Structure 1
Amino acid sequence: MTPQSAAAVPTGVATGIGSMPGTDPRAAVDVVVGEVGLPYLPELPARGVGADLLGRTAGLLVGIPVDYVHRTYRLAASPTAETRRARDHLRWDLDAVEELWETRGLRGRTEVLKVQACGPFTFAAHVELRGGHKLVRDRGALHDVAESLAAGLGEQAAELERRLGVRTVVQLDEPSIGSVIDGTVTPLTRLDPIPPIPVPDVAEILETFAARLGRPLLLHSCAAPRWELLRRVPSYGVSLDFTQLRESDYDPLGETLDAGRVVAAGVVPATDPGLSSNQVADDLVARLTGLIDRIGLPRTVFAEQFLVTPVCGLAGAPPSWARTALALATTVADGVTTS
């Protein structure tokens, strides 16, 4: 997969990060499809164990069962109730989106759907081996999980493509990848620290993952961007919380855009800022256009390489704001592409 494959990600439109409030997948899908140009399969962590980022991803793994022990996910020897629950949630979600596709007549009209999963490094930084150590401590186990997740995401994407007649874009959520690189993942005991994984090794695993999956990818993190890694994973578009950007990030952001890669700009607040929608939208359009002007790129990059998103997931937002935030993302995307 080459950097140019990122062009398969729709641009000049809005999308969401993934999570939504509530427990009804049909209601969440209805909001998503109605408000953004790149719809996505919603995640509903309020449903509990098996529906949060880690549990949902555990349900995608092929041949690696996961248990839930002492409020922590842990690899298991055989399939567990938690594994089955996670897979049930995924199946119900696919049924909900297929039902809406049929009732709305979207087959043939909506061409691309985004799906999300926890990336292998964040998963390995939080999920335990059977002995209680974090999975990231065992390089062999990390490679196994990455391979298993690529296979599971490929199966889910293929099923959605078959059911809906769409292409899929896959987003990997990696909020803890910096901790893996820095060696700051919390160990089982402080006397047994987990060594860092060098950036080239992290990049190699991600690029191998991309080659196995064979679909357009976005690498998302709400943390400060790790440009030393992002430069080494050209198969991925980049999804960032733009409120985390500092002046020192402008040059590497410009380099990323110069390389032809897609950038998803997280700018819409995940909670209600108490301002009118017009005020929020106008301010965000001005900030984004001002940033691109300062970097020295033409504003055509908005239509050709940008997506607009909320700054993070919307699971903690009231349903009314979740809908408003997605609608605002679309308004901002329209505003910058016509600026």
Structure 2
Amino acid sequence: MSGGVRATGVGSHPGDDQRWFDEAVRVVLGELGEEPGLPYLPEVPGRGATATMTGRGLAVVDGLDADLQPAGWRLTGSSGSPGLDHRRAFSLLAQDLDTLEEQAHGLTGAFKLQVAGPWTLAATVERPRGDKLVADHGARRELAQALAEGVGAHVADVRRRLPSIERLVVQVDEPALAAVVTGSVPTASGFGRHRTVDLPEASQGLEWVLAAIADAGAEPWVHACAPGTPWGLVRGAGARGLSVDVEVLAAADHDVLAAALEAGESVALGLVPGAGGALPSDAHLTERVLRWLDMLGLDPAELPGLVVAPACGLAGADATYARAALALVRTSAANVRAG
């Protein structure tokens, strides 16, 4: 039996107010709160800029202030005087953790958090004088280090709130990493592209954050669903879990995932669309997992780190689809376990 196979979600859920977040927590705990589930802190970005991946990431960053401009989030320095919207982002994250603490009281086993990665933040947040942080070597370095500092405190806060959790996973979301290392991040005008960040620097920025997670006693994962994500670099930077969209993987990526699984690390296979259309049957999804493993010559009974998941977040789905998608990955993981 492949007893380690689990099911989880990427993180985001549909909705546009706090009631939707409360319901998302209930859905996640209800569908994934017991084996083979890996429950997680949901995100409901439809509530506004303070609840998006970027806003939530800035709520974790330590020592850098930000405010919200018409073009999006912008750093304002390190004066200790965050703008109104940045304070709202802090407050919303704390409120969400209060809700989680109340609903997940007594939860044991494993749990997952998500935080925007340093390169995705650098590609979406502006520097004080304008344009994205990714354009400034010093600014992107400072941001990565501030995120590393803040994520350690975030892990400690969640451990305090969920004291019975035995295994805590922190998933670093890097949807923009591929664009950063290929020079595809658009400039403010939209007519140009920012220069490529070289691979050693990209690795180092990610390494600081992943090491901080590990030092805080949590397990660092990285999620990305963009084609061209350099998974070998991600694993080399210290990720002990790789969360991927199987549909966009290149041939070489499969070798990286196989090596991770054989080393006892985690691989979350994104096989369920984040929104739209009819969901596949659990039998079909189970067969896809088994075929993928067979292609790589891997035995599911020997892979404690295998995880079944949606390919991306569920924010674009409706509530019925989101719940059904989590039920589907849970059932499929149980099928693979029973294999």
- Calculate the TM-score normalised by the size of structure 2: 0.89
Deviations 1:187-206 (A, max 9, x none): 24578753211222211222
Distance in 1 between residues matched to 2:183 and 2:85, nearest whole Å? 29
The correspondence for 2:233, drawn from 222, 229, 234, is: 229
* Cross-structure match for 1:241: 245
* Cross-structure match for 1:150: 148
* Cross-structure match for 1:291: 292
* Cross-structure match for 1:35: 31
* Cross-structure match for 2:172: 172
1:204 aligns with 2:186: no
1:218 aligns with 2:221: yes
* Cross-structure match for 2:111: 113
* Change in 2 beyond 3 A, CA 1:270/1:192: closer
Distance in 1 between residues matched to 2:322 and 2:132, nearest whole Å? 34
Percent of aligned pairs sharing the same letter: 39
* Contact 1:200 1:232 (C-alpha < 8 Å) held by counterparts: no
Matches within 5 A, 1:23-172: 23=17, 24=19, 25-36=21-32, 37-77=37-77, 78-102=81-105, 107=106, 109-165=107-163, 166=165, 167-172=167-172
1:21 aligns with 2:21: no
Pairwise CA distance, 1:235: 3.5
Pairwise CA distance, 1:273: 2.9
Deviations 1:203-240 (A, max 9, x none): 12222222223221110001124234234224431000
Q: Secondary structure at the match of 1:59?
A: helix
Which AA in structure 2 matches 1:146?
A
Structure 1: 4+ residue segments shifted above 4 A:
189-193
Distance in 2 between residues matched to 1:126 and 1:216, nearest whole Å? 25
Pairwise CA distance, 1:76: 1.5
Q: Secondary structure at the match of 1:170?
A: strand
Instruction: Work out the number of aligned pairs and report it.
Output: 321
Q: Secondary structure at the match of 2:104?
A: helix
Deviations 1:74-124 (A, max 9, x none): 11143111111111110110110111123xxxx2x4232211111000110
Deviations 1:153-207 (A, max 9, x none): 2222211111221242111100110111112211245787532112222112222
Distance in 2 between residues matched to 1:220 and 1:96, nearest whole Å? 25
Distance in 2 between residues matched to 1:190 and 1:181, nearest whole Å? 18
1:324 aligns with 2:324: yes
- Calculate the TM-score normalised by the size of structure 1: 0.89
**After alignment, is 32-41 or 197-206 more displaced?**
197-206
Which AA in structure 2 matches 1:14?
A
Which AA in structure 1 matches 2:198?
P
Distance in 2 between residues matched to 1:162 and 1:227, nearest whole Å? 32
Pairwise CA distance, 1:138: 1.4
Question: Unmatched 5+ residue regions in structure 1?
Answer: 1-9
Deviations 1:270-298 (A, max 9, x none): 225325xxx52111111110111121111
Pairwise CA distance, 1:334: 0.9
The correspondence for 2:259, drawn from 255, 260, 264, is: 255
Question: Unmatched 5+ residue regions in structure 2?
Answer: none
**After alignment, is 18-27 or 177-186 more displaced?**
18-27
Distance in 1 between residues matched to 2:198 and 2:158, nearest whole Å? 35
Distance in 1 between residues matched to 2:67 and 2:145, nearest whole Å? 19
* Change in 2 beyond 3 A, CA 1:222/1:191: closer
Q: Secondary structure at the match of 2:241?
A: strand
Q: Secondary structure at the match of 1:256?
A: helix
